[in-house]
C-alpha cells in the first residue's frame, strides 16, 4: 500500500486553491470585459443617437421652445430629446441622448445653407428704377436686377470703368427674399427676454475678470437701464448683455459668442471678437475692427422710431455704419419699417471695409467697400459731392465666389437648414 507524506497533501491542496483562484480570476476578467464592452457600446450608441437628434431637427419642424422625444422603437431605457430655441438671430438646437446612466449632449447654431453653384451675388428689389454703376464698381456672380436692368453712370465726371456691367448671369428681380418669419419675430421680442430671467441668472461684472457660461446651462444676463461699458473684460458663451440705453465695446474687451442688445451699440476702433450685436436704432463700427464668423450686426427698427424720423424732430438717423479697414465675417442685417421719400442711408459700408458673408437691407444701402458674399437690398444710395444718387453703387465691390462654400448664414423661408456652429 502506497503512503503519501503530509507535505504532498498540502502541496496538492495548494495547487488546487491556486487553480481555483486562477479560474475565478479568469471568469471575473471575462465578465468585466463583457461589461466593459457593453458599456462601451452604450457610450458609442449614446453619442451616435445625438447625431440622429441633430438630423431630425434639421429635417423636421419642431415648435419653438419645445422639447420633443424621438421614438427609437427600442428599449425604454434609451431616449433622445431635442430642444429648439434661439440664440440671437440664429436657431439653436440642443440634443440630449441617454442610455441607462450614459448621457451625451450636443448643441449648435442653425442657419441657412447656400446653394453650391451659381450663387447669388446681388439681389436688388424691383422698384422700377435701373441699377446704376459708377467708378470702380464690380459685381461678380448671379445678379437679380430691376426690370429696367443695369446701366453705367457718371458722378462728378467719373464714369464706370469696368469692361462689362455684370460679371455673371443676370435675372429679373421681384421683391426681396423673405427672411424666416420666426427669426423676424424673435428679433421683435428679444428685448422682452429680460422679464423671463430668474434673479440668480443676473451677472455683476468687474474689470479684469473673465466670465464663461456654457450653453448647456441657463443664460446669464448683464443688464442695466443706463450705458454698459465693456472695457477690460472677457465674456464667453451663453451670456446676454442688455442695456435700455447703449452698449460700448472697447478694444480692451474680448467677447466670444455672446449677444448684445440695446437701442445703440458702439464698437470702438480695433475691437476683435465674435459676437452678435442687436440694436433698434444705431450700430457704429469703428476703424480696424475684426469680427470673426459668425458675427452679426442687426438693426430691427421699431415703428415708433420711424414715425419720429419722419417728423421734424432733430434726431440721429437709424443706421449701421462700418468704418474703414474693418473686417466683418458673418451677417449685416437691417430690418426697417417702410418709409416714404427715404433718401437716407440705412447701411453704410465705407471704403476699405470688408464684409465676408451676407448683407441684407430692406431699406437703402451705401456700398463703398467690399462684400465677399451676397447683398440683398431694397435700394442703393450714393452720397457724393453734396448730392444724393438713387440706386447708384459708387466704387463698391461684390464678389460671391470669394465667400467659402461652407458658409452658413441668414435663414429665409423654405431655405435648407445646416449646422452653423457647434456650441459648448
Examine residue 167 and state whether it is found in any structural domain, yes or no: yes
Is 38 in the same domain as 76? yes
User: By the 8 A CB rule, do 121 and 95 touch?
Assistant: no
Claim to verify: residue 207 and residue 245 sit in the same structural domain:
yes
Q: pLDDT higher for 120 or 25?
A: 120
CB contact set of 276 (below 8 Å; sequence gap of 6+): 87, 88, 89, 258, 259, 260, 295, 296, 298
> Among residues of the chain, what percentage have pLDDT more than 70?
93
Whether residues 208 and 83 fall in one domain: no
Tens digits of residue pLDDT in 346-359: 999 999 999 999 99
Its pTM stands at 0.88
Any idea which of 3-17, 144-158, 212-226, 318-332 has the lowest mean pLDDT? 3-17
Q: Is there a single domain that holds both residue 105 and residue 233?
A: no
Q: Count structural domains, the chain.
A: 2
Give, in order, the Cα–Cα distances in Å from 312 to each of 181, 306, 346, 382, 386: 33, 12, 18, 24, 21
87 and 168 assigned to the same domain: no
Q: Are residues 222 and 79 in the same domain?
A: no
Task: Determine which of 31-35, 79-83, 98-102 has the lowest per-residue pLDDT on average.
Answer: 31-35
Q: Are residues 135 and 32 in the same domain?
A: no
pLDDT band at 298 (very low <50, low <70, confident <90, very high): very high
Low-confidence winner among 14-28, 247-261, 272-286 (lowest mean pLDDT): 14-28
Q: Other CB atoms closer than 10 Å to residue 167's CB: what's the count?
A: 16
Most distant pair of Cα atoms in the chain: their distance: 131
**9 occurs within a structural domain:** no
CB 153 within 8 A of CB 159: yes
Is residue 4 assigned to a domain? no
Give me the mean pLDDT over the 178-201 stretch: 91
> What range does the domain containing 94 cover?
16-112
Judgement on whether residues 230 and 330 belong to the same structural domain of the protein: yes
Q: How confident is the model over 29-39, as pLDDT tens digits?
A: 777 767 666 66
Classify residue 374: in a domain, yes or no.
yes
Report the pLDDT value the prediction gives residue 73, as an integer from 0 to 100: 76
| In-domain check, residue 411 | no
Answer yes or no: do 274 and 367 share one domain: yes
Task: Judge whether 2 lies within some domain.
Answer: no
185, part of any domain? yes
Confidence of residue 195 (pLDDT cuts 50, 70, 90): confident
Boundary of a domain, candidates 64, 96, 112:
112
**Boundary-marking domain end, from 112, 136, 152:** 112
In a domain, 133, yes or no: yes
pLDDT band at 414 (very low <50, low <70, confident <90, very high): confident
Note whether 232 and 97 are same-domain residues: no
Q: Are residues 199 and 74 in the same domain?
A: no
pLDDT higher than threshold 60 for residue 83 = yes
Q: Note whether 138 and 45 are same-domain residues.
A: no
Amino acid at each position: 500500500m502506497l503512503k503519501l507524506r503530509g507535505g504532498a497533501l498540502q502541496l496538492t491542496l495548494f495547487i488546487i486553491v491556486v487553480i481555483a483562484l486562477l479560474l475565478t480570476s479568469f471568469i471575473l476578467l471575462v465578465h468585466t470585459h463583457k461589461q466593459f464592452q457593453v458599456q462601451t457600446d452604450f457610450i458609442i450608441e449614446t453619442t451616435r443617437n445625438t447625431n440622429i437628434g441633430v438630423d431630425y431637427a434639421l429635417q423636421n419642424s419642431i415648435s419653438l421652445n419645445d422639447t420633443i422625444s424621438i421614438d427609437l422603437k427600442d428599449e425604454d431605457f434609451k431616449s433622445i430629446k431635442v430642444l429648439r430655441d434661439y440664440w440671437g438671430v440664429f436657431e439653436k438646437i440642443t440634443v440630449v441622448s441617454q442610455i441607462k446612466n450614459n448621457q451625451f449632449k450636443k448643441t449648435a447654431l442653425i442657419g441657412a445653407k447656400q446653394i453650391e453653384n451659381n450663387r447669388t451675388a446681388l439681389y436688388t428689389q424691383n422698384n422700377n428704377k435701373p441699377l446704376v454703376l459708377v467708378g470702380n464698381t464690380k459685381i461678380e456672380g448671379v445678379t437679380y436686377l430691376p426690370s429696367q436692368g443695369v446701366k453705367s453712370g457718371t458722378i462728378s465726371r467719373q464714369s464706370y470703368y469696368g469692361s462689362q456691367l455684370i460679371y455673371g448671369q443676370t435675372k429679373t428681380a421681384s421683391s426681396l427674399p423673405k427672411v424666416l418669419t420666426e427669426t423676424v419675430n424673435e428679433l421683435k421680442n428679444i428685448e422682452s427676454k429680460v422679464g423671463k430671467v430668474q434673479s440668480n441668472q443676473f451677472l455683476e461684472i468687474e474689470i479684469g475678470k473673465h466670465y464663461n457660461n456654457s450653453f448647456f446651462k441657463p443664460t446669464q444676463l448683464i443688464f442695466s437701464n443706463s450705458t454698459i461699458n465693456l472695457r477690460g473684460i472677457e465674456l464667453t458663451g451663453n451670456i446676454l448683455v442688455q442695456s435700455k440705453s447703449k452698449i460700448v465695446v472697447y478694444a480692451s474687451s474680448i467677447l466670444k459668442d455672446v449677444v448684445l442688445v440695446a437701442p445703440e451699440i458702439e464698437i470702438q476702433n480695433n475691437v476683435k471678437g465674435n459676437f452678435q450685436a442687436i440694436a433698434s436704432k444705431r450700430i457704429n463700427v469703428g476703424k480696424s475692427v475684426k469680427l470673426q464668423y459668425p458675427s452679426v450686426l442687426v438693426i430691427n427698427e421699431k415703428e415708433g422710431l420711424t414715425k419720429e424720423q419722419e417728423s421734424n424732430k432733430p434726431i440721429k438717423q437709424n443706421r449701421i455704419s462700418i468704418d474703414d479697414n474693418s473686417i466683418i465675417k458673418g451677417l449685416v442685417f437691417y430690418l426697417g419699417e417702410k418709409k416714404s421719400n427715404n433718401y437716407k442711408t440705412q447701411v453704410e459700408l465705407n471704403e476699405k471695409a470688408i464684409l465676408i458673408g451676407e448683407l441684407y437691407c430692406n431699406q437703402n444701402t451705401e456700398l463703398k467697400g467690399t462684400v465677399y458674399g451676397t447683398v440683398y437690398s431694397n435700394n442703393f444710395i450714393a452720397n457724393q459731392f453734396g448730392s444724393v444718387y438713387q440706386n447708384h453703387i459708387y466704387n463698391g465691390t461684390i464678389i460671391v465666389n470669394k465667400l467659402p462654400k461652407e458658409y452658413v448664414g441668414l435663414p429665409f423661408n423654405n431655405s435648407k437648414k445646416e449646422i452653423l456652429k457647434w456650441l459648448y
